[in-house]
Chains A and B, each alone.
Chain A
Amino acid sequence: MPSEQDIYEEHVLDHYEDPYHRGQCDTATHAEEGNNPLCGDEIRVELRLDGEGKIKEAWFDGKGCVISQASASMLMERIEGMTPEELKEFSATEMLELFGPQLTPNRQKCCLLSWRVVQRALHSPLDEDDDSATFGGPSLGEES
């Protein structure tokens, strides 16, 4: 059993309190959202892919536990500069490694939420004619 005290190590709490790119990307080309219905964690990701097909900017917003929010911040910071192919190659295991502290299976779901949303975001281009913040693709975020 990992000690849960270690889960909240300083760099995790730093990302929680001072997240990277929390907010909206005004020039987003792709966006997606999702949630963990059991936890109530919610994450929304907005990406801007540039002309060369690289992820120029990655932003997130949402609410939920420390794990879900801090991991989203770490992921946004990590994927900027990647190509979509590189992002697709970025595995769940790598996401858990990026987060750092070892997590129980239940908390891994919290950590992998933003990773799942980012993967789907690549398939959810925003309609260029529509500048209202609507998101393509199926959403896991709807109330059930």
Chain B
Amino acid sequence: MDPSTITTPPATSFDPQSLRADFPILLQKAASGEPLAYLDNAASTQRPRQVIDAISDCYQRYYANVHRGIHTLSESSTDRYEQARRSVSVFLNAASSDEVLFAAGTTAAINTVARTWGDQNVGRGDVILLTMMEHHANIVPWHQLAERVGCEVVFAPLNDNGQVDQQQLDALWQQHGSRIKLFAFTAVSNVLGTINPVQQWVRQAQQHGARTLVDAAQTAPHMAIDVQAWQPDFLVFSGHKLCGPTGIGVLYGRRELLESMPPFLGGGAMIQSVTTEGFAPAELPDKFEAGTPPITEAIGLGAAIDYLTDIGLERIHRHEVNLTQHAHALLADVPGVRLIGPQDPADKSGIVSFAIEGVHAHDIAQWMDTRGIAVRAGHHCAMPLHKSLGLSSSTRASFYLYNTMDEVERFVEAVREVRAKFAPQGRRRRRRS
């Protein structure tokens, strides 16, 4: 081989710098005047031109209500809306796009399952099994279900490495057996970054005759999903965490379940017919999409999925693991920093959450902001998790395809500064005169 070719990066090498050019917001300076290091992607990502253009193109060229008009614009809109559904269906490797329902987001999707499948199938004495790392969106709807039907909500505890303790999980299945009607779990923790063994847990639930709901809000943006291989009964995610618009998300459900479930919201579009006596619901997927749907949002989501698929989810994931590895390695040299979650970056996604002894997370995030670095501080909608960790809050840096090694280094440098800034220095308060 010609030695000169050895140093040439392969054609598939990942260049976040060139991808940044797709994201207009990243070209801005932060409020501090420094280049913006946006490390709050687990909360919400930024949008590339391709998505912004798709939305603006819809409004400017072919927008009308869907599934209604006989006129050309309505047919164009309907076409693109249904095209977006097919894109999602391919993205998830669903057996049919009828199994892909648009919802307002992950939260709305989980609430829909709780209110329809839950009310219909869960009763007093039954158990909803969750893990201790769930987001409130996958806790509160089940608490609400428990209030309505008298079921019990049980949490699988974590080990010191921020993973569900499989032995204790096995014990919960043994203890509750067929009383467990649903195992609802996140595929990736929004705080710890832990990647959970989805397929294994779905099989375990199937063996006990329980249903599964997979919260893929932190997975869909970063890793390939295959619902036919994973076989969850339900899988949900949000558009805004994968470069898409807010106000749109996906509820995937297996056809026979969706068909057996009662509709949730009633109104236009979800009916076959309405009389003064009652109504007959429409077929899937319309049955669960009452009212005018989020049309441009769905089209924007389709564009986001096309954008990510073109880059390749596997490459995005590898890039994020590299960033995380770099962050872990650098933070290991900063004393007083407690990394929470798996210590091995191979076990997690691009999320680095930590606590600094003696410094409140809000002060850390505030200081980072002065350095042009956007991180999240607080309990990240995971209060039970933080309580189990003995923390009231943590600080989280979360990476995406447009983040760079340089940003990781700026972030770690800011962590060092925080320690120096807020360390006790023998300060004395001036007496009031």
Contacts and interface: CB of A to CB of B under 8 A. Distances in A.
A65 B428 contact: no
A77 B392 CA distance: 28
Given A3-B32, A11-B430, 19 more contacts: A5-B370, A8-B363, A8-B367, A10-B427, A11-B429, A13-B427, A17-B425, A17-B427, A17-B429, A18-B428, A18-B429, A20-B429, A38-B379, A41-B360, A66-B360, A66-B422, A67-B362, A67-B363, A110-B362
A29 B379 CA distance: 35
A10 B425 CA distance: 11
B432 A107 contact: no
A72 B427 CA distance: 17
B369 to A, nearest CB: 6
Interface in A1-16: 1, 3-5, 7-8, 10-11, 13-16
B393 interface: yes
A14 B432 CA distance: 13
Highest count of chain A CB atoms <10 Å: which of B360, B361, B370, B425: B360
Contacts of A71: none
B378 interface: yes
17 contacts: A3-B32, A4-B366, A8-B421, A11-B429, A13-B422, A15-B429, A16-B427, A17-B424, A17-B425, A18-B427, A39-B360, A39-B378, A39-B392, A39-B393, A40-B378, A41-B360, A110-B362
Interface residues of A, number: 31
B interface majority secondary structure: loop
B332 interface: no
A78 B430 CA distance: 13
B385 to A, nearest CB: 13
Contacts of A41: 360
Contact of A4 (B367, B387, B392, B393): B367
Given A11-B430, A14-B429, A19-B429, A65 B421 contact: no
B363 A65 contact: yes
A14 to B, nearest CB: 4
A15 to B, nearest CB: 5
B429 A73 contact: yes
Interface of A: 1, 3-5, 7-8, 10-11, 13-20, 38-41, 63-67, 73, 77-78, 107, 110, 143
Given A1-B31, A65-B360, A38 B366 contact: no
B48 to A, nearest CB: 26
Contacts of A4: 366-367, 369-370
Contacts of A107: 362, 366
Interface of B: 31-32, 360-363, 366-367, 369-370, 378-379, 387, 392-393, 421-422, 424-430, 432
A111 to B, nearest CB: 12
B418 to A, nearest CB: 10
Contacts of A39: 360, 362, 378, 392-393
Highest count of chain B CB atoms <10 Å: which of A65, A67, A77, A110: A65
Contacts of A15: 429
Contact of A77 (B32, B362, B425, B432): B432
B366 A14 contact: no
Contact of B379 (A17, A40, A73, A77): A40
Contacts of B379: 38, 40
A142 to B, nearest CB: 13
B164 to A, nearest CB: 23
Given A40-B393, A65-B362, A14 B428 contact: yes
A13 B358 CA distance: 13
Contacts of A13: 422, 427
A20 to B, nearest CB: 6
A64 B358 CA distance: 10
A3 B428 CA distance: 24
Nearest to B387: A143
A33 to B, nearest CB: 15
A39 B379 CA distance: 8
B83 to A, nearest CB: 40
Nearest to A144: B383
B135 to A, nearest CB: 15
A123 to B, nearest CB: 27
Given A1-B31, A5-B370, A14 B430 contact: yes
Contacts of B392: 39-40, 63
Nearest to A19: B429
Highest count of chain A CB atoms <10 Å: which of B31, B366, B426: B366
A26 to B, nearest CB: 22
Contact of A66 (B363, B393, B425): B363
A107 B369 CA distance: 13
